Amino acid sequence: MTPTSADLLQQWLQDLERKGRSVHTLAAYRRGLQHFIEWNKRVYDAEFDPAATIPRDVRDWKSYQQTVEKAAPATINQRLVALSRFFSWATSKGLAKDDPTVEVGSLRLPARQPKGLSDKDLRKLLRAAKAGGNLRDYAMIELLAGTGLRVGELLSLRVGDITLGERSGTVTVRQGKHGNFRTVPLTLDVRKALEAYLQNRSGDNDPEAALWTGMHGDLSHRSSVLRILDKYTQQAGIDAIGPHALRHTFATRYLNANPGDLRGLAALLGHSSLNTVMVYTEPNLGDLAERMERIDRTGRSNR
């Protein structure tokens, strides 16, 4: 018996699940393929057949999303990825002879700067944490905002990874992303916050002891940091953020103070490629509007 579109969808997703794909990925793939199946049924008034699908179908479906649905480019690209993954599977199973998605490219997305905090909101957050009186929370937020550490790197820190001197200090990330090692200098404000925390920290100050501790032991889960940030963003009266927003905040502030120093920023953030930090140099719409205004001002001044 020929499998129905629902059968095919279920078989494909089960195969992906066995290969360890995440729940979120499976849900996105399900939505993408279902969208194509429903469109296919409306157009041809027939059951979806992978073997009968041609590249023109994929192009027409893509065009329909752009012109009729007016779907966001990111949504269209996500659906195209799902369809491409499905046909890769379908051809491997002999359900289709060719992959009709190969000739259909994704939409080019506008470069988007990662979202961080404005200087004003960062000050509000730090003031709220300082006023809260919890030295650990304040030191943690100062360290995230002042170094751009990833949350996993933050939680992996040991007491001995912090070096504090009278005029300088560093934090050592022993195993960052891809196993990379790096040492990041600490500013005065970060050093002061860490020094106060370490002097009053409960528990073992052995260099190998976990840096961050709580009432129930060492902090090791991202959720702990999220709860801390949620608490102080509410008190500060600003939008909720995750720890990665403080990484973006650090990167943006660093480049504002050191324009063009992508190599330095990449080293501090633990990136091996400059392409990864190029995103922080992309102008936003406000920047472009201001640059357009400069054209007119320059033209008027030359008359």
pLDDT in single tens digits along all 303 residues of the chain: 568 889 999 999 999 999 888 888 899 999 999 999 999 999 999 989 999 999 999 999 999 999 999 998 889 999 999 999 999 999 999 999 999 999 888 777 655 556 789 999 999 999 999 999 999 999 999 999 999 999 999 999 999 999 999 899 999 998 777 678 999 999 999 999 999 999 998 777 789 999 999 888 889 899 999 999 999 999 999 999 999 999 999 998 998 899 889 999 999 999 877 877 877 776 666 666 776 777 776 666 665
- The DSSP secondary-structure symbol of 160 reads G
- Catalytic site includes residue 271: yes
Residues 212 and 171 sit within 8 Å (Cβ to Cβ): no
From the candidates 30, 174, 244, 253, give the one annotated as an active-site residue. Answer: 244
Model pLDDT, residue 180: 82
Q: Which residues pair with 218 in a beta bridge?
A: 213
- Catalytic site includes residue 291: no
Burial-class residue 125 by CB neighbours within 10 Å (0-12, 13-18, 19+).
Answer: buried
From the candidates 127, 130, 150, 174, give the one annotated as an active-site residue. Answer: 150
Q: Is 39 helix (H, G, I), strand (E, B) or coil?
A: helix
84: nearest Cα among 29, 40, 41: 29
- Catalytic site includes residue 280: yes
From the candidates 115, 177, 263, 291, give the one annotated as an active-site residue. Answer: 177
Q: Is 270 helix (H, G, I), strand (E, B) or coil?
A: coil
Number of H helices, E strands in the chain: 13, 5
DSSP per-residue letters across 178-243: GG--EEEE--HHHHHHHHHHHHH--S---TTSBS-EETTEE---HHHHHHHHHHHHHHHT-----H
Model pLDDT, residue 176: 73
Model pLDDT, residue 295: 75
Model pLDDT, residue 114: 64
152: nearest Cα among 132, 127, 179, 130: 179
Q: Is 158 helix (H, G, I), strand (E, B) or coil?
A: strand
Domains and CATH numbers, the chain: 5-92 (1.10.150.130), 119-281 (1.10.443.10)
Tokens matching residue 300 = 């008027």
Model pLDDT, residue 45: 93
- Catalytic site includes residue 136: no
Residues 157 and 190 sit within 8 Å (Cβ to Cβ): no
* CA–CA dist 75, 107 (Å, integer): 10
Residue that has been written with the tokens 């600490």 in this structure: 186
- Catalytic site includes residue 177: yes
Burial-class residue 251 by CB neighbours within 10 Å (0-12, 13-18, 19+).
Answer: buried
- Catalytic site includes residue 247: yes
Q: How many CB atoms lie within 10 A of CB 250?
A: 23
The residues, any chain, with a CB within 8 Å of residue 85's CB and separated by 6 or more, are 16, 29
